[in-house]
């Protein structure tokens, strides 16, 4: 079944988690390329501020306040989008939250809330999107993570939720294909991205930080919008999204060792003083106090492009394999240095 997608300037995009990070970067890129965008998030003040900015620049946007854990709120927002713009062409399930904490230190309440947003929020979005798009067609875009394929210590529950998103996305794609419903279901799997994700996340380890390599949010936004125009099954963004699954598949014991040594608490926490309490709930239960930023506070080098992602977009698998192999070699060198 061939799925034909519209050029971006003819599309209406529905984007959750639109007030910061990847979601906001995607909003900016989409409107600049002529798309109409319907934004949803929990923070009404920030949504209104972004809306005012977009309208001032002449862009066509609208918004609704939504907690994606509540399917009725997503349904109401999607209905408003259709009433405003006439349709939805690409439905981006991007909203997400995280916890930096050892599994045994994380409460069941925190774990359930994370899954309510990261997993059930995607399920809710997909159910609404399929019901509205099954005749007209389009794209459902679920934002997973490099951790959809790999489990990272200290972010174990986030990893589990993104594994669940991948499983649900793959099953949904196959069911829609079987029923010949013209909706492309795409999974985007970003590596570490310089967004306010660490600052907004709940944390039991003080002030968390990304581990390199780290990429700009705009790199993911570009990937999302390319997949909105070209049917794509799944796409990794950044080198880790290609390298880590290879290591897990072919060198799992080495991966276990490296992860247990290189990605534990001390390597995901900023050095120096921090004002964060020992158990900070972050944005788990309420929206962040400050939003409206695409970039985070990562202090190292932020990559502005990804060779592997660009090669994968062009189906240049030889290039992807060659570069991933080179990265694998460097990974093994790191393993040897850790053991010595």
Whether 188 is covered by a domain: the verdict is: yes
- Provide the pLDDT for residue 288: 83
Q: Which domain range does residue 229 map to?
A: 9-272+305-339
Widest Cα–Cα separation across the chain: 63
Count the domains in the chain. 1
Place 336 in a pLDDT band, splitting at 50, 70 and 90.
Answer: low
200: which 2 tokens?
């907004």
CB within 8 Å of 216: residues ≥ 6 apart: 193, 194, 295, 302, 303, 304
Asked if 26 and 15 touch (Cβ cutoff 8 Å), the reply is: yes
Whether 119 is covered by a domain: the verdict is: yes
Whether 249 is covered by a domain: the verdict is: yes
What proportion of the chain, given as a percentage, has pLDDT over 90?
73
pTM for the full model?
0.90
Whether 284 is covered by a domain: the verdict is: no
Strand runs (DSSP E) across 87-210, as ranges?
90-93, 99-100, 138-143, 183-190, 192-194, 202-203
pLDDT at 340 over 70: no
Lowest mean pLDDT among 58-62, 101-105, 255-259: 255-259
158 annotated active-site: yes
- Provide the pLDDT for residue 191: 96
Backbone angles phi, psi at 80, to 5 degrees: -65, -40
- Provide the pLDDT for residue 335: 47
10 Å Cβ neighbour count for 249?
10
Place 216 in a pLDDT band, splitting at 50, 70 and 90.
Answer: very high
Query: What does the alpha-carbon distance between residue 195 and residue 105 come to, in Å, rounded to a whole number?
Result: 25
Whether 1 is covered by a domain: the verdict is: no
- pLDDT tens column, 129-161: 999 999 999 999 999 999 999 999 999 999 999
- pLDDT tens column, 221-234: 999 999 999 999 99
134: which 2 tokens?
């099954």
Query: What does the alpha-carbon distance between residue 205 and residue 103 come to, in Å, rounded to a whole number?
Result: 12
- pLDDT tens column, 181-212: 999 999 999 999 999 999 999 999 999 999 89
| Bridge partners, residue 269, by sequence | 208
- Provide the pLDDT for residue 306: 87
Whether 285 is covered by a domain: the verdict is: no
Q: What is the domain-level CATH number for residue 73?
A: 3.40.50.720
Identify the active-site residue in 59, 100, 158, 168: 158
Whether 286 is covered by a domain: the verdict is: no
- pLDDT tens column, 36-46: 999 999 999 99
Whether 277 is covered by a domain: the verdict is: no
CA angle, 214 then 220 then 225, to 5°: 170
Asked if 46 and 19 touch (Cβ cutoff 8 Å), the reply is: yes
């Amino acid at each position: 079944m061939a799925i034909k997608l519209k050029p971006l300037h003819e599309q209406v995009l529905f984007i959750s988690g639109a007030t910061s990070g990847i979601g906001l970067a995607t909003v900016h890129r989409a409107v600049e390329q002529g798309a109409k965008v319907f934004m949803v998030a929990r923070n009404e003040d920030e949504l209104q501020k972004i809306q005012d900015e977009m309208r001032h620049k002449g862009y066509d946007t609208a918004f609704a306040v939504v907690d994606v854990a509540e399917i009725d709120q997503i349904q109401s927002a999607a209905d408003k989008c259709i009433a405003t713009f006439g349709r939805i062409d690409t439905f981006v399930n991007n909203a997400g939250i995280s916890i930096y904490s050892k599994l045994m230190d994380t409460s069941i309440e925190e774990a359930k809330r994370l899954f309510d947003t990261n997993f059930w929020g995607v399920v809710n979005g997909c159910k609404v999107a399929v019901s509205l798009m099954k005749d007209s067609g389009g794209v459902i875009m679920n934002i997973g993570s490099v951790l959809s394929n790999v489990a990272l210590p200290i972010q174990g529950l986030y990893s589990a939720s993104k594994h669940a998103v991948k499983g649900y996305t793959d099953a949904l794609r196959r069911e829609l294909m079987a029923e010949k419903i013209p909706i492309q279901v795409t999974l985007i799997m970003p590596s570490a991205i310089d967004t306010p994700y660490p600052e907004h996340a709940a944390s039991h380890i003080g002030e968390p930080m990304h581990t390199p390599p780290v990429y700009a949010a705009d790199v993911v936004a570009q990937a999302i919008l390319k997949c909105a125009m070209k049917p794509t099954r799944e796409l990794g963004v950044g080198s880790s999204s290609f390298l880590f699954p290879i290591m897990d598949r072919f060198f799992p014991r080495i991966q276990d060792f490296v992860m247990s040594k290189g990605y534990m608490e001390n390597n995901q926490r900023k050095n120096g003083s921090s004002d964060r309490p020992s158990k900070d709930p972050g944005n788990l239960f309420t929206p962040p106090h400050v939003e409206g930023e695409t970039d985070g506070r990562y202090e190292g080098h932020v990559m502005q492009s990804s060779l592997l992602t660009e090669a994968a977009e062009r189906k240049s698998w030889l290039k992807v394999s060659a570069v991933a192999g080179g990265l694998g070699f460097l990974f093994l060198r790191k393993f040897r240095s850790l053991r010595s």
